[in-house]
Amino acid sequence: MVKMDFGGVIEDVITRKEFTVAQAQKILKDEVVVSLGYGIQGRAQSLNMRDNGIKVIIGQENTGVHKAYYDLAVQDGWVPGKNLFPMEEAAKKGTIKMFLLTDAGQKDVWPTVKKTLKEGDALYFSHGFSIVYKEQTGVIPPKNVDVILVAPKGSGTSVRRNFLDGSGINCSFAVHQDATGKAQDRVKAIGIAIGSGYLFPTTFEKEVYSDLTGERGVLMGALAGIMEAQYNTLRERGHSPSEAFNETVEELTQSLIRLVDENGMDWMYCNCSETARIGALRWRPRFREATQPVFDSLYELVAAGEETRIVLEKSKAPDYRQKLADELKAMGNSEMWRAGATVRSLRPSKQKKE
């Protein structure tokens, strides 16, 4: 690990410079890594490991709602009977079992996976949900296996894209149970093998608390909600859809957030007009003070298990998939996001320079 200064707080992190892909290959050379599930994370992580020379097999059913994922695995070059098997058969073959189903899916499949665990195996997660909320999920691993976690700070789509462009995506990692004495090596090796930009230590509990808060907050829930509020305010006061969308979303995603990504929020402010800078600095604390109680309440509900209870309850409803599709369709068909589709279609195409 290397010590890095994060705003005055020193943290130990792992980068690919001191923990190389070659080291990961050496640690994992006698392991059979099995991805249980070929969803968004399962696909990205298994493809990245395969590209990094790690022996990987896939566990994916070929029936009902699962067939599309199975077909995608075949399309990606996984061969039935060679490195693509039904879930239970694959789990039996693996020494490191990557449990990458949905949280609700993990609860349902756990009895099957549990009986395939052998002494010395590792049970791997990319989310602390099932372990931390074991009273709700029933996922309680036996004492003779390692229980480890690598949690990418982004979607599986980003995990794959960033790997392919060479940048990697930052990930947290944790060891919940070290039965073999090899858990630290195993988790770090997989973290590097899936293409992490850098790895930082956490716990299963801290990972799931921060993740659930972030998804419901800034990353998704708050972002969508605050965009809708500003768009509605502008539209209700006579601004066109094009103007409202550009001022709410397009300028953020196509300009300002890229400046934040490059050098930070203060640098973005410095690259905006004096009028914008003065106004933003004056209104920033008002938004912070208005939303702080909402975030505090959100975190408390996450820690208390209320948010996970709702997830498990809603996802097991027989009409869940249809209701989800309807909600997302309603969002996509709202004036704001229909305006967004039009705005995106009007972006100038990138011209190659001669």
Pull the structure tokens for residue 32. 């059979």
To which residue do tokens 């789509």 refer?
157
Residue 176 designated active-site? no
- The catalytically annotated residue of 66, 127, 176, 239 is 127
Beta bridge partners, 174, equal 149
Nearest residue to 248 (alpha-carbon basis) of 223, 278, 265: 223
Pull the structure tokens for residue 201. 């230590």
CA distances for 66 relative to 69, 124, 143, angstroms: 6, 21, 31
Nearest residue to 194 (alpha-carbon basis) of 41, 326, 347: 41
The answer to whether 27 touches 47, Cβ cutoff 8 Å, is no
Angle, vertex CA 126, rays to CA 328 and CA 181, nearest 5? 175
Longest CA span, the chain? 67
Residues annotated as catalytic are 127
